[in-house]
Structure 1
Amino acid sequence: MSVSPDSIATPAGARLLVVDDDPTTLTLLQQVLQGDGYNVAVAHSGEEALLHFQAGLPDLVLLDVMMPGIDGYTTCERMRQLDPHHDVAIVMLTGADDYDSIDRAFAARATDFITKPFQWRLLLQRVRYALRTGRANRELRLIRTRQAAARRLARLIFFHYQLDDDALIWSDSNLPLVEGSVSAPAHFHQLVELVPPTDRQRVDAAIRRARVYGEPLDIEVPIVVEGQSFLLRLVGQLGHIGSDQRVLSGALQDITVQRRNEQIVAASQVLHEDGTGYSAT
């Protein structure tokens, strides 16, 4: 049995909320969407729609612009307050060629818009596209959340240094220190300024060789922040974005605890080797 591309594209069991004050339009939308396999709830006003939204986030909202009471723009803005991560796709229903309404819909942080009168096949395709976009946004946010948690556990931060623009961009706003907090430097020279004077020339030279000559960057960087000493590992590699923009990309990790534990293990081994506390088997 063959399966049409349209049926493959329809997310099974997706929950839709349709909001329109016109009973005829509302009934038609409900019938068409249910016929395409969606679970559809309806609301006749913005106030009623917000009650549905608060009771349980749908996967997508079809929201009319012009309604009595609070209009579609205000309803959309309030929904975004309840859904700050934009997990729910919100598609505004506007009049044809009403460019002001379209601009206001996006200003209210709508996902997309559909113009009236409806072309039903196009409406179904736009609904599917908006659902896929919403799902992709949720998955991306989940991946970023997991990555951020992993970086915190590993005390790791990533950077991109755009050589042509002299712009240093970090994945987090602060350096990943085991204790204390300091803002990630806007330039490499600010990082070097945190290094004790005896090591500054070595660190600065390694960064310069990576920037100018493309040498792989892999050095241990001691820094002092508010009287506390830390040991960081800085790694990076010169590359390109597109055909011409040069970028030094890499990572910075706080290895203070790792080195401290290695020293404890090494000291313990020395004690055993010189006979102190050693028992032969």
Structure 2
Amino acid sequence: MVIDDDNMLREIMAETLSDDGYTVVQACNGREALELFENSDTELILVDVMMPVMNGYDFCKALRKLPKGCNVPVIFMTGQDDVEAIERAFDSGATDFIAKPINWHIIGHRIQYTLRASRAMREATLNSKLLSDAQRIAKLGNWSWDTGTKEMHVSTAAYRIFGVPRTSPGIFYQMLRTAIQPDDTRSFDLAIQRALDDTPADIEIQVTPPDGISRSIHIHAEHVPNGKATQLFGTFQDITERKNAEAEIRQLAYYDAVTGLPNRTLFKEHLQVALHQAQRNGTKIAVMFLDLDNFKRINDSLGHKAGDELLEEVSRRLQQSIRTTDMAAIDKPGVSGHSLARLGGDEFTVMLTGIKDLHHVSVVSERILKSLSEPVMLAGNRVVVTSSIGVAIYPEDGSEIDSLLKHADAAMYQV
């Protein structure tokens, strides 16, 4: 089921999932979705946060109170990717969280893995034998924990997931706390507190057990029905393969296969983030457009292998030419420091943010051209490559991505 008041996004999502073989039910708000859910066999729900009539948070809370709605996976879709919004979604009973704009390349895989985990959980409750088999196949282990004693009792599958031998409940708990990466400790504690407050909690964390092999673990936690206030139970699931698959998909979707640089799509996403920051801070951005002169002639005369080697060498020299001080975008949230990209063919782009003196842009341009003019050995031949650079400055030359790229392309010149 897809729930969103944005008709276009809802239709695109439905068409995308239908192409993947899913039957899709649509609703434009939470109240309509609850009515449809009662008369359907919905296995997974994608829901927007902000909607008229009933928003995503209230819908999820109401869904979890329905007899057949307590275990249905609910994935929130929203542009609100701050910690508070995420925690509120999970507090409402969300299973997972996807930020807008939707990555259409991986949404089918994300749903596939979510459904797989959900079905495994339902089947695991049938009897103890099915539970044991499902845990082994799905890399899923169960646990129970009295938080007052700091002793965690776990299944055989849980020991297997963490790569440790069977040990005492107290020692396993200490191992778990030590294995959790520091950045995930607070999120883990918050999830446990939600469970203690009678709200089922789900979290994905990174752990490094005693064997030194880093793993991605999904943890589900609930308060024991009619149990003591400190009693919890839940599951561990090793989702390392899923995370690795998502990373591979992202690599294919957002990075150039020859140079390993961000591609046009990722560059434009990062440029959009940088533009928002520049608008807010009143700063300038330089977009530099580069192409290699006579690249086609080199490709044709020396072969495509030599052409790829040239692109790799150009990529390496560009990265060396752009110093850390040039990349004001580094370590900025949402930008990831990617200021260099290959758009395709022999075209590259460089983004410089936080520009205070336009002379600095000229210095960087000259540094790049000097580096690229050094001879390259290709297929036993000493080749000299020249390049051209065009520069566009935000906001003087445009305030939109496409206008800046077009201006930089049109302004191509030899420094």
| TM-score tier after normalising by the smaller chain length | 0.3 to 0.5
Taking CA–CA contacts closer than 8 Å with sequence separation of 6 or more, which of the two structures ends up with the larger relative contact order? 1
Indicate the structure (1 or 2) with the bigger Cα radius of gyration: 1
TM-score by length of 1: 0.46
